[in-house]
């Protein structure tokens, strides 16, 4: 498991951890039941505050991606495939929204954008 923190990206450190762990879980890199490093160990390894890692884990727990057991640590939760798929769909949605915003800035029409998407999609498939 790799977590890489940038202190110059402007994104809060806890959010970077959440984002990266979430991605690994959604991509199936971390499977259900995998133990995560303890809050204190992660803080030490990343050389960041304990409170920051704690906050990141709490956030992941709220999203239902991990479970914390007192005295045992945190584990990737056994969320069902349906749930994970939903989460991943939401990520796709978010990215599409970014694309829409960007294309609006350029003054692109919907049809133009749809055409572009179609072209790129087919290109990837080949």
Partner 1 sequence: MSDVIQLDHLTKSYDRFELRDISLTIKEGFITGLIGPNGAGKTTLIKMMMGMVYPDQGSISMFGQNNQLSQAAAIKERIGYVSDESIYYEHLTVKQMRAIIAPFYPRWDQDTYMKFQELFKLPPGKKIKELSKGMKIKFSLAIALSHGADLLIMDEPTSGLDPVFRREMLELLSEHIQDEKKSILFSTHNTTDLDRIADYIVFINDGKIIFNEMKESLGEQYLLIKGGKELLDRDVRRWFVGIRENGLGFEGLISNRAEGERYFKDTAICETPTLEEIMYYTVKGSEAHV
Query: Tokens for 38?
Result: 């303890």
Q: Is 36 in the site for partner 1 (CB under 8 A)?
A: no
Please identify, using beta-carbon distances, which residue of 12 and 28 lies nearer to partner 1.
12
Taken in order 32, 57, 68, 84, the sign of the CA dihedral is negative
Span near partner 1 by CB under 8 A; candidates 39-47, 77-85, 88-96, 104-112:
39-47
Compare residues 20 and 37 and give the one whose CB is closer to partner 1.
Answer: 37
Q: Which is nearer to partner 1, 50 or 117 (CB)?
A: 50
* Cβ nearer to partner 1, comparing 53 with 77: 53
Which residue from 46, 87, 94 is spatially nearest to 66, judged by alpha carbons? Answer: 87
H runs (alpha helix) in the chain? 13-26, 39-46, 50-62, 81-105, 110-125
Q: Does 43 contact partner 1 by CB under 8 A? A: yes
6 touches partner 1 by CB under 8 A: no
**Residues counted in the chain:** 126
For residue 10, count other CB atoms closer than 10 A to its CB.
6
Alpha carbon 86 to chain centroid, angstroms:
13
In angstroms, give the least distance from the CB of 52 to partner 1: 6
Residues forming the site for partner 1 (CB under 8 A) = 7, 10, 12, 14, 40-41, 43-44, 47-52, 55
């Amino acid at each position: 498991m790799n977590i890489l923190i940038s202190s110059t990206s402007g994104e809060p450190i806890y959010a970077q951890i959440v984002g990266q762990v979430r991605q690994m879980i959604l991509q199936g890199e971390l499977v259900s039941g995998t133990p995560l490093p303890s809050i204190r160990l992660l803080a030490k390894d990343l050389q960041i505050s304990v409170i920051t890692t704690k906050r990141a884990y709490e956030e992941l727990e709220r999203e239902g991606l991990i479970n914390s057991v007192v005295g045992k640590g945190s584990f990737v939760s056994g969320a069902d495939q349906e749930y994970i798929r939903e989460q991943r769909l939401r990520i796709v949605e978010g990215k599409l929204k970014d694309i829409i915003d960007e294309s609006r800035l350029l003054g692109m029409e919907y049809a133009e954008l749809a055409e572009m998407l179609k072209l790129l999609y087919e290109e990837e498939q080949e």
